[in-house]
């Protein structure tokens, strides 16, 4: 078996025959497309495709990968992930991400009193958070990690109302980072801890989903201000490759906007006592 074979198998299982314009016939023992259907859609021999899935063929051409990406209906992230697994797209070497956040970015984040904002690295270690983000998530201490929060904090399933969606999205992004920078020691450390301690993480990891941040909103249950429905935007930090900036926003004049203002007042006054969701 190989990473490439595992990914092809997982993507094949995720495509229904009707999605690929095929008529489903006979009894299907597994969900998704059959191997021969993927081979036909991609213009490959069944034997060659089987060898790819089984890890006996490890050097497909770019044209073969393009055909497979189309047959399996991969998005931009999935297409790039497929090329990296096949060794046809560069993986970063010596890819340790700097933990230093650009002071100019920190100043910018501090000017957003109504928008929680945070910066994290490839391993999802939180490197910086503005005051409203501190109030939303709790006080980030050294080494705080969003992956470990989602899968290791007992209250995370209450804090994130749509926990399953948040968890699946986080794992898909983490896998993308892991394949892009397999030598990053912090990514390897977090992955090992999650695999050893979280059955929920292992179950999602086995799906082999790989994509960047796809959620555009999250719903939080905050212990002091109640439910907040926030949109989110994610940006790569060009001055520090591997870092990402996430900014949250509420619909104007909504209950969530009022809750954010109240949260800002709590952050400014320290009252009532904030409860920390990361501990």
State yes or no: pLDDT of 62 exceeds 50.
yes
Domain of 257: which CATH number? 3.30.450.180
Give domain status of residue 255, yes or no: yes
- Asked if 132 and 234 sit in the same domain, the reply is yes
pLDDT digits (tens, 9 = 90+) for 93-121: 556 667 899 999 999 999 998 999 999 99
- Asked if 121 and 64 sit in the same domain, the reply is no
Of 30, 56, 85, which one is at a domain's C-terminal end?
Answer: 85
Give domain status of residue 274, yes or no: no
In this prediction, residue 95 carries a pLDDT of 63
Please state, as a whole number, how many other Cβ atoms lie within 10 Å of the Cβ of residue 13: 14
Give domain status of residue 92, yes or no: no
| Spatial separation of the C-alpha atoms in residues 211 and 8, rounded to whole Å | 15
Total domain count for the chain? 2
Give domain status of residue 201, yes or no: yes
Give domain status of residue 276, yes or no: no
Give domain status of residue 129, yes or no: yes
- Asked if 163 and 246 sit in the same domain, the reply is yes
- Asked if 175 and 230 sit in the same domain, the reply is yes
Domain of 21: which CATH number? 1.10.260.40
- Asked if 56 and 18 sit in the same domain, the reply is yes
Q: Do residues 214 and 172 touch, judged by C-beta distance below 8 A?
A: yes
- Asked if 120 and 229 sit in the same domain, the reply is yes
- Asked if 80 and 128 sit in the same domain, the reply is no
User: For the chain, what is the mean pLDDT?
Assistant: 88
Of 51, 85, 119, which one is at a domain's C-terminal end?
Answer: 85
| Spatial separation of the C-alpha atoms in residues 114 and 124, rounded to whole Å | 23
- Asked if 77 and 112 sit in the same domain, the reply is no
| Spatial separation of the C-alpha atoms in residues 78 and 66, rounded to whole Å | 11
Give domain status of residue 107, yes or no: yes
- Asked if 20 and 117 sit in the same domain, the reply is no
Give the Cα-Cα-Cα angle 278, 172, 21 (nearest 5 degrees): 150
- Asked if 134 and 217 sit in the same domain, the reply is yes
- Asked if 36 and 111 sit in the same domain, the reply is no
pLDDT digits (tens, 9 = 90+) for 145-183: 999 999 998 889 999 999 999 999 999 999 999 998 888
Give domain status of residue 62, yes or no: yes
- Asked if 253 and 123 sit in the same domain, the reply is yes
| Spatial separation of the C-alpha atoms in residues 135 and 248, rounded to whole Å | 13
Which of 134-138, 210-214, 274-278 shows the lowest per-residue confidence on average (mean pLDDT)? 274-278
pTM for the full model?
Answer: 0.83
Range of the structural domain that residue 134 is part of: 103-269
In this prediction, residue 99 carries a pLDDT of 86
Of 52, 85, 118, which one is at a domain's C-terminal end?
Answer: 85
- Banded model confidence at residue 144, pLDDT cuts 50, 70, 90: confident
pLDDT digits (tens, 9 = 90+) for 14-45: 999 888 888 777 677 778 999 999 999 999 99
Is the link from the previous residue into 272 a cis peptide, with omega within 30 of 0? yes
């Amino acid at each position: 078996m190989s990473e490439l074979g595992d990914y092809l198998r997982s993507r094949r299982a995720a495509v229904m025959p009707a999605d690929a314009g095929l008529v489903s016939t006979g009894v299907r023992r597994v969900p998704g497309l059959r191997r021969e259907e993927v081979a036909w859609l991609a213009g490959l021999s069944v034997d060659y495709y089987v060898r790819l899935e089984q890890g006996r063929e490890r050097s497909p051409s770019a044209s073969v990968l393009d055909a497979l990406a189309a047959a399996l209906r991969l998005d931009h992230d999935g297409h790039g992930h497929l090329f990296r697994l096949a060794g046809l797209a560069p993986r970063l070497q010596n890819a340790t991400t700097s933990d230093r956040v650009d002071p100019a970015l920190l100043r910018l984040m501090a000017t957003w009193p109504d928008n929680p904002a945070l910066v994290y690295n490839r391993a999802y270690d939180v490197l910086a958070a503005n005051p409203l983000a501190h109030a939303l998530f709790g006080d980030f201490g050294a080494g705080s990690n969003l992956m470990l929060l989602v899968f290791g904090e007992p209250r995370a399933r209450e804090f994130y109302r749509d926990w399953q969606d948040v968890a699946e999205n986080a794992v898909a992004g983490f896998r993308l980072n892991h394949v892009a920078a397999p030598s990053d020691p912090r990514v390897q450390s977090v992955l090992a801890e999650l695999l050893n301690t979280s059955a929920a993480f292992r179950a999602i990891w086995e799906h082999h989903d790989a994509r960047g941040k796809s959620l555009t909103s999250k719903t939080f249950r905050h212990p002091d201000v109640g439910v907040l429905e926030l949109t989110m935007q994610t940006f790569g930090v060009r001055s520090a490759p591997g870092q990402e900036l996430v900014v949250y926003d509420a619909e104007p004049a909504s209950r969530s906007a009022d809750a954010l203002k109240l949260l800002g007042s709590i952050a400014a006054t320290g009252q009532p006592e904030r409860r920390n969701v990361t501990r």
